[in-house]
Every structure is written in C-alpha cells, then in structure tokens.
A and B are shown apart, each in its own frame.
Chain A
Amino acid sequence: MSDQNQMIETSRNSERPESHFLKEFDLLVENAAGGTAWIEHRHQAVKAFSSLGFPTKKTESYKYTPITKRVKSTLSNAVESEMRTSNRAFGDVSGIHLDTSNGVLSTGPLATSLPKGLTITTLQEEAKRENGVLHEHLSGAIVLDRDPFSALAAALTEDGILIHVATGAHIEQPIVIHHDRIAAAGFVQSRFLIVADAGSTLRIIEHFGHLDAGSAFENRVTEIIVGEGANLDHVLVYERSEEATFVNALFVEQGEGSIFKTNNITIGGGVVRNNLNFLPNAENCETHLNGLYIARGASHVDNHTLVDHAKPNCYSNELFKGIVADTATGVFNGKVLVRQDAQKTNAYQSSKSILLDRRARIFAKPELVIYADDVKCSHGATTGELDDEALFYLRSRGLRPDAARLLLLEAFARDVIDLVEVEDMREYLYDRLHQLLTNE
C-alpha cells in the first residue's frame, strides 16, 4: 500500500460513523421529492441526529447494548445491492396482505378492493397532497431528540408506508404486513405511519421473516396515532437470522378514551433493540404493552419501553418475558413516568426472565419516575432458573427431565403468546417456540 493510500485508509478509520450518514443525507435531500414540509421535517430530524450522535460507552440508555460497534461493522462491510426474500409465516392468516421491499410497499399505493374508510398508501404519494393525513400527523408522535436511531430513520427514509383509518370505520380484517424482501447487507432505513381516526378499530400484524434474511441493519421508526375512542391492536413478530440487526422505534400517541395494544415478539436477530414509547395524551386511555423475547446463540435482545403518563385517569399494563440461552444477552429497561397532573394513574409493569445457560446474561432496569401522588404504580422484576419444585412435581408424574423443563418453559412463554388474538398466529408461534426450545 502506498503512503497516500495508507493515509486515506487511516482517515476513513478514524472518521466518526455519524459523518457517513450526514453526507448521505445531503445527497438524498438534494434530489428529494415530496412537499416542503416533509423535507423540513427531515432537516429537523438530521439536526437532532447530529446533535445526539451514536451512543457511546457512557450513554446510559445504551449501557448494555454496544450498538455503535454494530453500526461501524455494517459500514465497513461492502454494500450489496442483492435482495433477499424471507419466509411468509402469516400468508394464510385471513386479512389484507401487504408486502414490503426494504420497508417500502412493493405494490405501491393500494386504491382498489379496500374496505371503506381504509387508506393504504406510501409516504411519498401522501406528501404530494397539500392537506393530507401526512401533513396533519407528520411528527405527531415521534420525539426526535430522544434517540439517535429514530432521528436517523426519520431523516434518511425516502419513502414509507401510511395506513389511515377514517373516523368511525371498523376494519374487520387484520392488515398483515410481510416484510419479506430485504437487502442482503448494509443499512435499511424505513418509516411507517398509522393513523386511526376517532372511533375506528384496526388490527395490524407485522412479520419479519427469518429464512435467508441476510445481515442487513434495519433501522425503523413507526408512529401510531390513536384517535379519540379508537381501538388499535398491533402485533410484531421479528425472527430474522443471527447476522441481522434491528433497531425498532415505536412512538404511540393516544387520544381520549382510546385503547392501544401491542405485542412485540422477538425470536430472532443478532442484535435487536426495541425502543417502545407510549404517550397516553388524554384522559381514560388504556395501554397494553406485552413482549416476549427468546435470545439464543450469541444474540443480544434489548427492550426499552417508556410509558409517559401525561394526563389523569389512565391505565397501563406492561408484561415482558424473556428466555436467554447459550451466550446470549437479554436487556430490559422499562420506564413508567407519571407527570404531575396525571392523577389517578394506574400503571403496572412486570418483567420476568429465565437464564438457561452458564454464559447467558440478563440486565434489567425497571424504573418508576413519579410526580403525582394519587396513583397506583408498581413494578416487579424476577430472574432465575426454572422452579425446582415445579420440576420435581412434573418428574414425580413421570415426565423425563428435559420434557418437564420444556413444558415449564413453553408455559412461561405462552403467557405472552396467548395475548395474541389471532388464532393462526398463536399456532405458528407455539410451533416456533417449540422448535427454538428443542433446537429442532
């Protein structure tokens, strides 16, 4: 290598990973289409990203998750333009099916054969409309300066999915989104906006398939706006391969008397970070937040949740369960914030985890930050092995030790799967759970 090349090499190595994305942003925005408000929003996002920067060792919220290492390694690998297609697990679930390619609708905007009141389109398309849903709700839920990854996705995403349900529309069939086409490597930034207007109901199912899914770093931000009295149910199943990285930000804002449920099931991936943010921003909201993760091999699964109770008389319930095997790491950080005016808040949180192997690790930080006095808030966190007495009981009934263990582990995880309301999905998840726990 010549001296000059060496110099270029060193300067590239010492370059901060942020600058790569800032340059990319400048290039993208130069040629960007879409309304000015959309571009303006992306400028704000990139500003937020640039001032936050990627997490360092000292960043409290990424204390246990060395994600920046993953950013750097993804950057240093050659970008492949090749696309991979993963399995569609929920193809048979009856519903409205959508396919994505790098987080963008493969089909483009859907106009025909949708139930009344339902709009499915792309953000690009919607940005062209002057008084569209996008302009009304853009950055309605996202908090740009909270996390660098969500700011980054907001800045760099060129296009995304928009699902809108009009006032009072009850969409009977679930919308099933198959995120089944993905770049083989490199970064995939994507964005998703769901707006459920007053009194509407909607169920959304998302699946990130595992077969042949490549090693892409998916960085995604989803905003969900639940209108007054609306009822929205969201289930996400993530099972990419062990080389994949997933940073998944969810921002939910709820209107008065609305109900929002989410179930986040992570049973794959190399490094997975869920940033789940909930803002019940009016009285009498109900928020259900459930999650299950199974971390195996050398994988690392980190669930960060924030329930920000800003208004009185709301209810939130959070249940997270994890099984950590081999040399994997599980992280749970659940924060419940009750602001001064949020009197009569009932907030509950429970995090349970089981370690299966000697080199597996769990880090849990359940936080309560409470500024209102007339509230009922509690959290519980447990970590341990399977209960000896329960094992003994099953063995005394004639079960072999491994069968007894399996039974108990499945029962442990099924608590969360049982909260999924679509039967076909539950069946699939039971099977996958069994496979994962028996290494089949």
Chain B
Amino acid sequence: MSENSTDLLHEVAESDYKYGFVTDIESDKIPPGLSEEVVRIISAKKNEPEWLLEWRLKAYRHFISLLDKEASPDWAHLDLPEIDFQAISYYAAPKQAPEYESIDEVDPQLIDTFNRLGIPIQEQERLVGIAVDVVMDSVSVTTTFNAELEKNGIIFCSFSDAVKNHPDLVRKYLGSVVPYTDNYYAALNSAVFSDGSFCYIPKGVRCPVELSTYFRINESGTGQFERTLIVADADSYVSYLEGCTAPQRDENQLHAAVVEIIAMENAEVKYSTIQNWYPGSAEGVGGIFNFVTKRGICEGARSKISWTQLETGSAITWKYPSCILKGDYSVGEFYSVAFTKGRQQADTGTKMIHIGKNTSSTIISKGISAGFSQNSYRGLVKINRGAENARNFSQCDSMLLGDRCGAHTFPYLEISNPTAKVEHEATTSKIGEDQMFYCKQRGISEQDAIKLIVTGFCKDILSQLPMEFAVEARNLLSIELEGSVG
C-alpha cells in the first residue's frame, strides 16, 4: 500500500473519541469498596425483598471465594491489568431521582447530553416511535411509551420497578440462564447489580415497537453493573436494541453486565447492540473494561434468538453472547463486527450449545484491527449427544489495517452426534492492493475507498441491524475509520 494510505491508517488508528464529555449531575454515591455491607446497602437503597438480598449475598460469597482463589479468567487473548475491586464504588444514583410523569420534567442538562449524543428523546417519542428506557448510571430516569406497551400487556421497565411490580416473574427467571456461579464477572454482577431493564412479552404478542435502552456511564469511578432480563412467552416477538457511548476520562472503569434472554415456544428475540464505550487514549491510558455475560436460551420448540453486535469501543472487551438451543427446531444466530484501534483489545465471540433436535445456528463474525490493537474471535459450537440433525455454519473473517495489530481466531468445535453438520471457515487478510487500485482508478479517494471496502466487508452484519440502528452503525463505522481526517 502506498505511503499515503499508511498515513491514513495511522490517523484512523489515532483518531480521537468523538463522544467524550461528562455531564455534571450530582450523584448519590456510596464510598468505594466491596463487602457484604455494601451488598446490603445496595439492596436496602432499592427496597428489595428478602429473597433478592439472599440471592445477592450468595453471589457475593461465591465471588469472594473466587477472588480468594485468584480465579479471575486468564484464558482470553488479552493483556488484563489487575483490577482492584475495593477501589470501585458499587452504587451511584442520580441525586434528583424522582419518578417522572413526562419527559419535560427531566433535568435539562441530561436532555442536553442526549442531544449531543444525537439521541433526541422527545423527537424519538413523537417521530420514531421507540420506547426508551434511559439508564443514566444506575437508576432508570425515564421510561416512555409505557402506556402503549401496556395496552399489549408488554412489560418494559427498569429492573428495580420489575422487582417491585412483578416479583414473581423476576424471581422465576433471574439467574435461570446465567446463574451467579456462571463466571467471575457474572458472580460480581449478581452481587452488586444496580439496575437494568426488564422486558416481558406475553403469549402471542408481537411487540409493535423496537425496544431500546441507552446505557451511559456518567459518574467517574463507578462501575456499572447492569442486569437485563428479557422473557418472550410463546408465539411472541420482540426486537431489542441496546447502544451506548461514554464520556472521556482517564480512570479505568469496570463494566460487568449480565443479559439473560428466555424464548419460549415459537418466540423470537432479536437483540442488537452498538457498543462504543470510551476506548482509552491512543497510548492506552484509561478506557472502559467491558466484561459482559450475555446468554439466551431457546427454551421452547421453534424459538429463535438472534444476537447482532457492532463493537467499536472499550479498552478491553470480553464478551460472548451465546445461545442455548434447547427446544427442538430452535435457531440461534450471531452476527458481529468488532473494530479495534489504538491500544484496544477485544476477545469476543459466541457459544452455540445444541441440545434439542434439528437445531441450527449461524455465526458470522468480522474483525477489523488497526493501530496497535488485538482483536480475537473466540467461539464454541457444541453439539450434544441428543442433538439430532444439528446444523452449524460459522464464518470468521479478519482484516488487518496496519502491521502492528493482531487478528486471531480461536474456534472450538465439540461434536458428539454423528448426524450433526458443522462447518467453520476463517480467513485473515488486508485490504487488497487490487481493490484499492480499482477504486482509485475510478476516481474514488483513498479514504473513501477504505471506507467503502470496510463497509462492504461488514455488509452481512450491518444489514442484520434494525433500520435506524443500521444507519447509526454505518455512520459510527465511518467516523471510526475516518478519524481526524474526515
């Protein structure tokens, strides 16, 4: 590649984070540290019932036992700094946290933040027709469109409200897909989770709007421990969007979320994510640690769970949205684009566990690395003994933009049934000189050509996103690529 485009790639790799600002809202924050007392305080502040406190404490004890054993996961292809769990404050709620009747009552500064992020809440309410459960740090500030959703019997609210108003549902499903013993960060989340979203789609209901939550980390020094629980009852459908951008800061922040999805017979859940947390400076200072456990279970026959993600942010990403295909004829899908630059590290992928008969799964993963970043795909396809006629297709392609980054593929295929058909393929390459030459001789500038080729490389994934998201995703990707050049 010519020197010119190498320069461009450098600029791409070094471009600044566009969404870096801190909103000045006073927070109600408990001092840093992790102890049984802290877990009790969190639970008490949220007026939680006894059973939930018990569950949190069990999780806390499990986490402490893992901490004592120094059992933090070290298998990922990541250079993890040691995390001091006693230096993190586990609860921060915006101080003015009344229940808003309408959006006009919301702190104007908050509205301003969202406007700068390009999320016009009021307009969304009127024009786009998306119900937004906005999470600002840890407590849900506003929930819109509830009335409309209620008409259909759909429950979409903050996790705390769900505990208050629908304790039976929460108690039944909480931890049923990701038990607190699942892994290190899931144990931590289960002990100290602050808030999150809860969604229940009743039998036979097709959710009329796309449900969306915007997560933001706003309070310096607070980890964010979200918990999302989505239950789609028989014959229902829901499309859930989650997107996030975070203010620039120097301090490392820990984000350990848990997402659980349950799809009953014939239900379909589509979960889309745009992840754009602060990635740290070009030298690798600061940035979010994003250690997320996302898992769905296709409980009933013919159910379907589909994960789509665009990962561009975070200093370190450790995330494997997975599907347990328990129901016969159930379907799991995973579509992912992971873009890393600067000193970012990503180890992401999926697990497809085939248990039921005639289950099928598709994995399409595209990794793009630039600068000094490391980008890994890690995935598991497991076909259990009883999973007759299971089918899997996986494709993992990596693209390297620059000669100081890395692209890695670690697929695990575990097959215990002869009727299974499992295919995995992976390629690694850079942007072809012939491709660049072709674009340039048609009068397309070097940077436009790179954008064009990279967008084309990711097309399969971007087309899976819901429309509004797809536009946003494409913009985000070109901004990331453009860097300071554009």
A398: Cβ under 8 A from any B Cβ: no
Q: Is the CB of A374 within 8 A of B403?
A: yes
Q: Is the CB of A382 within 8 A of B423?
A: yes
Chain A positions 355 through 392: 1 when the CB is less than 8 Å from some CB of chain B, otherwise 0 = 11111111111111111111111111111110000000
B400: Cβ under 8 A from any A Cβ: yes
How many B residues touch the partner, as a band? 35 or more
How far apart are the CA atoms of A384 and B415 in the complex, in Å?
9
Which of A60, A366, A370, A382 is in CB contact (< 8 Å) with B398?
A: A370
Chain B positions 426 through 440: 1 when the CB is less than 8 Å from some CB of chain A, otherwise 0 = 111110000000000
How far apart are the CA atoms of A410 and B441 in the complex, in Å?
51
How far apart are the CA atoms of A371 and B372 in the complex, in Å?
10
How far apart are the CA atoms of A86 and B481 in the complex, in Å?
64
B414: Cβ under 8 A from any A Cβ: yes
B340: Cβ under 8 A from any A Cβ: no
How far apart are the CA atoms of A374 and B422 in the complex, in Å?
30
> Taking CB as reference atom, which chain A residue is nearest B399?
A373
Which of B403, B413, B428 is in CB contact (< 8 Å) with A340?
A: B403
Contact (A373, B403) CB under 8 Å given A366-B411, A368-B409: yes
Q: Is the CB of A385 within 8 A of B421?
A: yes
Q: Is the CB of A362 within 8 A of B403?
A: no
Q: Is the CB of B427 within 8 A of A377?
A: yes
* Interface residue ranges of B382-436 to A (CB < 8 Å): 385, 398, 400-430
Chain A positions 323 through 345: 1 when the CB is less than 8 Å from some CB of chain B, otherwise 0 = 00000000000000000100100
> Taking CB as reference atom, which chain A residue is nearest B9?
A373
How far apart are the CA atoms of A379 and B415 in the complex, in Å?
18
Taking the closest CB of chain B, its distance from the CB of A342, in whole angstroms, is: 11
Contact (A379, B413) CB under 8 Å given A60-B75, A371-B406, A373-B401: no
How far apart are the CA atoms of A362 and B385 in the complex, in Å?
11
> Taking CB as reference atom, which chain A residue is nearest B418?
A355
Number of interface residues of A (CB under 8 A): 34
Which of A60, A356, A369, A371 is in CB contact (< 8 Å) with B418?
A: A356
How far apart are the CA atoms of A286 and B15 in the complex, in Å?
40
Q: Is the CB of B416 within 8 A of A361?
A: yes
Q: Is the CB of A367 within 8 A of B408?
A: yes
Q: Is the CB of B400 within 8 A of A370?
A: yes
Q: How many contacts between A and B, using CB within 8 angstroms?
A: 117
Taking the closest CB of chain A, its distance from the CB of B347, in whole angstroms, is: 12
B400 contacts across to A, CB distance below 8 A: 370, 372-373, 375
B411 contacts across to A, CB distance below 8 A: 364-367, 381
Q: Is the CB of A372 within 8 A of B403?
A: yes
Chain B positions 106 through 150: 1 when the CB is less than 8 Å from some CB of chain A, otherwise 0 = 000000000000000000000000000000000000000000000
B413 contacts across to A, CB distance below 8 A: 362-365, 381, 383
> Taking CB as reference atom, which chain A residue is nearest B433?
A374
How far apart are the CA atoms of A330 and B360 in the complex, in Å?
23
Which of B407, B409, B419 is in CB contact (< 8 Å) with A385?
A: B419
How far apart are the CA atoms of A427 and B421 in the complex, in Å?
32
Q: Is the CB of A366 within 8 A of B430?
A: no
Which of B404, B406, B412, B415 is in CB contact (< 8 Å) with A370?
A: B406
> Taking CB as reference atom, which chain B residue is nearest A333?
B412
Q: Is the CB of B424 within 8 A of A381?
A: yes
Q: Is the CB of B408 within 8 A of A384?
A: no
Q: Is the CB of B412 within 8 A of A379?
A: no
Contact (A373, B405) CB under 8 Å given A60-B75, A380-B424, A384-B421: yes
> Taking CB as reference atom, which chain A residue is nearest B405?
A373
Contact (A369, B408) CB under 8 Å given A378-B427, A380-B424, A383-B420: yes
Q: Is the CB of B424 within 8 A of A375?
A: no
B402 contacts across to A, CB distance below 8 A: 373
Which of A358, A365, A375 is in CB contact (< 8 Å) with B428?
A: A375
A382 contacts across to B, CB distance below 8 A: 421-424
How far apart are the CA atoms of A102 and B411 in the complex, in Å?
38
> Taking CB as reference atom, which chain A residue is nearest B376?
A369
How far apart are the CA atoms of A383 and B420 in the complex, in Å?
7
How far apart are the CA atoms of A361 and B410 in the complex, in Å?
19
Which of B75, B406, B419, B426 is in CB contact (< 8 Å) with A366?
A: B426
Contact (A355, B403) CB under 8 Å given A367-B408, A367-B410, A378-B426: no
> Taking CB as reference atom, which chain A residue is nearest B421?
A384
Q: Is the CB of B407 within 8 A of A370?
A: yes
How far apart are the CA atoms of A365 and B422 in the complex, in Å?
13
How far apart are the CA atoms of A376 and B409 in the complex, in Å?
14
Q: Is the CB of A374 within 8 A of B430?
A: yes
B403 contacts across to A, CB distance below 8 A: 340, 343, 372-374
Which of A357, A365, A378, A384 is in CB contact (< 8 Å) with B410?
A: A365
A383 contacts across to B, CB distance below 8 A: 413, 415, 420-422
Q: Apart from A355-B417, A358-B385, A360-B418, list 19 A-B contacts with CB within 8 A.
A: A60-B75, A343-B403, A355-B420, A357-B418, A358-B417, A361-B414, A361-B415, A363-B412, A363-B415, A367-B411, A371-B405, A372-B403, A374-B430, A376-B429, A379-B424, A379-B425, A381-B413, A382-B423, A383-B422
Sort A-B residue pairs by CB-CB distance and give the 8 closest, nearest first.
A373-B400, A355-B418, A384-B421, A364-B413, A368-B409, A378-B427, A381-B424, A380-B425
Q: Show 12 residue pairs from A and B whose CB-CB distance is below 8 angstroms, ordered by the A residue.
A: A362-B415, A364-B412, A364-B424, A370-B406, A370-B408, A374-B430, A381-B422, A381-B425, A383-B415, A383-B422, A384-B421, A384-B422
Residues of A within 8 A of B (CB): 60, 340, 343, 355-385
